[in-house]
Structure 1
Amino acid sequence: MIITTTSTIEGQPVHDYLGLVGGEVIVGANVIKDVLASVSDFFGGRSGSYERAIQDARAHAMREMQDSALKLGADAIVAVTFDYEVLGKSGSMLMVCVCGTAVKLG
């Protein structure tokens, strides 16, 4: 399945718009990741544990979106957007949302 942030796919005309599809994932930051992140921040490095958590959450949200599109009989998802929000009293949770339009290509 083609998944793109653009509203069109070159050489692939959209035959039918099937509707909006999306995926949402909320992940909590645990104490070990927090400690490792603070060590990385202190020494000026990147926080690999947080980066992996965000990548995993984004991949899971994309799978949910793709599964929804497949149920509608879509060939592609266009105009995909991503949103990341910090939630919780102490900002200890991250929400990843992905949304796009499921289409049938002609």
Structure 2
Amino acid sequence: MAEPTSKPNLPKLIVTTGNEVQGHEIHEYLGIVRGIVVRAASISQGIRGAFKSILGGNVEAYAEVCEAARQDAFKRMAKQAREIGADAIIGMRYDATEFMQGATEVLAYGTAVTLTPHA
């Protein structure tokens, strides 16, 4: 599918946790968009994480896995919004669930909308 053309005076895609976009009116609600990723730690991350958990403190190896999953879920959500012609995603949220031992599902979701700049 071809990339939608940008409207004048609007960035390619605005993403906010709020329910409005300053300086713009919501023209149309396009629906919920989401990106889902299921991630598990690699063997080396698992070993580093297990060792660090014995010592205590921040488990950076696991934080790396979580951050990568959030980024991928966000990109998938944004891609879906662009494909349906959205200017913005409002009410954006993350959710995470342990899918099985050692694997976590990360969901990024929000409402895709089109915008009209205030006159």
Give the TM-score normalised by structure 1: 0.90
Partner of 1:10: 22
Alignment of 1:16-95 (within 5 A): 16-88=28-100, 91-95=101-105
Partner of 1:105: 115
User: What is the percentage of aligned positions where both structures have the same residue?
Assistant: 31
Looking at structure 2, the residues matched to 57 and 63 of structure 1 have their Cα atoms a distance apart, in angstroms, of 10
Paired residue type of 1:54: C
Looking at structure 1, the residues matched to 56 and 39 of structure 2 have their Cα atoms a distance apart, in angstroms, of 24
Deviation at 1:34, TM superposition (A): 2.1
Deviation at 1:30, TM superposition (A): 3.3
Say which one has the larger Rg.
Answer: 2
Consecutive aligned runs of 4 or more in structure 1 exceeding 2 Å deviation = 29-32
What SS does the corresponding residue of 2:24 show, helix, strand or coil?
coil
User: Structure 1 stretch 3-12 or stretch 95-104: which is displaced more?
Assistant: 3-12
Structure 1 regions of 5+ residues with no counterpart?
A: none
Structure 2 regions of 5+ residues with no counterpart?
A: 1-12
Looking at structure 1, the residues matched to 70 and 24 of structure 2 have their Cα atoms a distance apart, in angstroms, of 26
Give the TM-score normalised by structure 2: 0.81
Deviation at 1:31, TM superposition (A): 3.2
How many residues align? The count is 104
Aligned-residue Cα RMSD (Å) equals: 1.2
Deviation at 1:62, TM superposition (A): 0.6
